[in-house]
Amino acid sequence: MTAEKTGNDASQPLSAQPAPNPDEQGVQAQDSADGLKGVEAIRHALRTMPYAPGVYRMLGARGEVLYVGKALSLRKRVTSYTHVARLPERLRRMVSETVTMEIVTTHTEAEALLLEANYIKRMKPRFNILLRDDKSYPWLMLTDEHPFPQIAKHRGKPVKGASLWGPFASAWAVNQTLNLIQRVFLLRSCTDAVFNSRSRPCLLYQIKRCSAPCVDRIEPQAYAQLVEQARDFLSGKDGALRETLGHQMNEASEALDFERAALLRDRIRALAQMQESSTINPASLPEADVLGLWQEGGQTCIQVFFIRGGRNNGSRSFFPAHTQDEAAGDILSAFIAQFYDDKPCPARILVNADLPEQALLSEALSLRRGRKVEITYPQRGEKKQVLDHAVTNARDALKRRLAETAGQARLLEGVATLFGLSAPPNRIEVYDNSHIQGAHAYGVMIVGGPEGFDRKAYRKFRIRGPVTPGDDFGMMREVLERRFGRALKEAESGDTSNWPDVLLIDGGAGQYSAVRAVLDELGVTGVTLVGIAKGPDRDAGREWFYTGTGAPFQLDPRDPVLYYLQRLRDEAHRFAITTHRAGRSKTLVTSELDDIPGVGPARKKMLLNTFGSARTVRQAGLAELEAAPGINREMARIIYGHFHPDWQPG
């Protein structure tokens, strides 16, 4: 795999000029297409572009990635972008903003598809179909290297010496299975530290959720048998398991061991609960992901069901970002490639649309998995029923989202009417500060818009100062200078995507005047500033609004716009408090040992275990430090010298 950057040289007039405004749609015929700067940049790149398979990236004037694509033949694919009249409107805009291109060649088209998905997910080009999926997925983990393995939830990277099952769609879904494992197989869920410190059984043993191996209430061989049964169950072999448990129950009953028979009966019933619905838990799908797509109102929802071991591990709704003219098959293809970029792929994927290049996508996923991956569009039978169930859930989820979006749109229209805006705001920024008598001071910014709170756009500002303790005006000035100092630089280069329409601050006339002065000093224009302050009685619902264009006013306590503005203010306050607490907690766990060169977490722990506190380490003599475990002579001299700057080694 090789990478190459190609395009116009920085000394050429093309790269020195700003990209065309995407809102100026002047391309209507082939004659004007030849004059586009973007076409010139693409033709310049084509001079050295190979016919090999690979991935291409189109870059804008500021070096931002506009679009990522893959091709069996880079030269042939990229050439199509020079025929602007044949392109849809979205790609015309993309070409008009292109200044240069970068390519990466691969050995096969399947490798190019995998690399394309990785680039799109990492770089988030605005002209690609984008998957919005920032959450990690929980798994069930069974430790392998302990004499009495632990069953527990796990998120993040795989753990060495442990087996994982999943993924599960949510914490609720994994908790359900974990509770079942505890009820049926009585495996411990406590950590090794708790396991080693127990002297008597815990409550889980009393309620028959654990076999108490910590206090030898079960033999190692019997516990190992339970572990193997749990592995079979998680691997989908629960049919044979239930048959075995049934024989054991009959044997216990014949031996008049009714207590054991009742326990085995409860375990069989718990297993049967997982197979109550054949639609949700299909017997013909031991391992598959079911992807149901529904489109409405120019938006798309994809509902994903995770089927593992013949059981449903839950579902999750996704709303990929795309233009309204994208076909269902294209959206599903892009979604699948990006979705499995960082997570294991099952043996089978069910979809409800015909995918372009379906064989190539299957080949790429098989390459990543190391085993065959089959993508199918079932037309009948049990698989079709499961897929229809996913589509129904996707339709319902999208209708709820459209209803919420419509409600949000009405609120933003109300905000525009209230504050005299020409159009509903796309971005409302709210600021707040939090500190304790000036200590651990933080400022925060939260963002609201057409889709509700935009948590990706939230920002934290640790107050650097110098600011007089308790000077909220000074803190707000620093936050605004840092926020708009960067925004103004972005605006100079033509990027106004993060420019706010409304700036909401928690405060009255004094706070409003101070912020207004800062914005005027910075040269910030086109932003509506609003102050929201509670009245003398501090009752929510009686807030006063300050806009600088007239006397402050109040809204009817039942006005939904008032409630929306209160939510914005309260969200900023919540974010400020949690940010301040996190910063303060981080400070509390720091130690003066952290400033010593060569003293990391392990040595710090050894020193504190040996001496009891950082203060005792500071007071220790050189000989005492040399005698401490894990501290050699050189390290002892470094520690001693840190606390005694005037000391000279002899």
Dihedrals φ, ψ of 311, to 5°?
-120, 155
- Which of these, 540, 525, 529, lies nearest to 570 by C-alpha position? 540
Residue 174, sorted as left (phi over 0), alpha (psi -120 to 50) or beta, turns out to be alpha
| Averaged pLDDT, 328-350 | 92
State how far the Cα of 117 lies from the Cα of 252, in Å rounded to an integer. Answer: 56
Mean pLDDT of the chain: 83
- Which of these, 270, 290, 385, 340, lies nearest to 116 by C-alpha position? 340
State how far the Cα of 296 lies from the Cα of 551, in Å rounded to an integer. Answer: 45
Tell whether the model's pLDDT for residue 375 goes beyond 50: yes
Asked which of 8-22, 178-192, 423-437 is least confident by mean pLDDT, the reply is 8-22
Beta bridge partners of 404: none
Do the Cβ atoms of 188 and 148 come closer than 8 Å? yes
- Under the banding of pLDDT at 50, 70 and 90, the label for residue 527 is very high
Residue 310, sorted as left (phi over 0), alpha (psi -120 to 50) or beta, turns out to be left
| Averaged pLDDT, 3-14 | 41
Do the Cβ atoms of 153 and 191 come closer than 8 Å? no
The helix, strand and coil proportions of the chain, stated in percent and rounded to the nearest 5, come to: 45, 20, 35
pTM: predicted TM-score of the whole model, two decimal places: 0.70
Tokens of 88: 């849809």
Beta bridge partners of 428: 448, 502
pLDDT of residue 542: 80
Asked which of 17-26, 74-83, 438-447, 604-613 is least confident by mean pLDDT, the reply is 17-26
Tell whether the model's pLDDT for residue 105 goes beyond 50: yes
- pLDDT tens column, 47-103: 999 999 999 999 988 888 999 999 999 999 999 999 888 888 888 889 999 999 999
State how far the Cα of 363 lies from the Cα of 366, in Å rounded to an integer. Answer: 5
- Give the 3-state secondary structure of 31-81: HHHCCCHHHHHHHHHHCCCCCCCEEEEEECCCCCEEEEEEECCHHHHHHHH
CA separation, residue 446 to residues 318, 463, 502, 547, 571 (Å): 23, 17, 12, 20, 7
Tell whether the model's pLDDT for residue 17 goes beyond 50: no
CA separation, residue 489 to residues 457, 470, 485, 598 (Å): 18, 30, 7, 40
Locus of tokens 């997925």: 137
Q: Which amino acid is at 639?
A: I
Tokens of 135: 């959450």
- pLDDT tens column, 112-143: 999 999 999 889 898 999 987 767 788 999 99
Helix axes 358-369 and 109-123, enclosed angle (nearest 10): 80
Where helices occur in 255-380 by DSSP H, the ranges are: 258-273, 328-339, 358-369
- pLDDT tens column, 456-502: 899 998 887 776 766 778 888 888 999 998 888 877 776 777 899 99
Locus of tokens 């079960």: 218
Do the Cβ atoms of 19 and 48 come closer than 8 Å? no
Of 5 and 37, the one with more pLDDT:
37
pLDDT of residue 35: 35
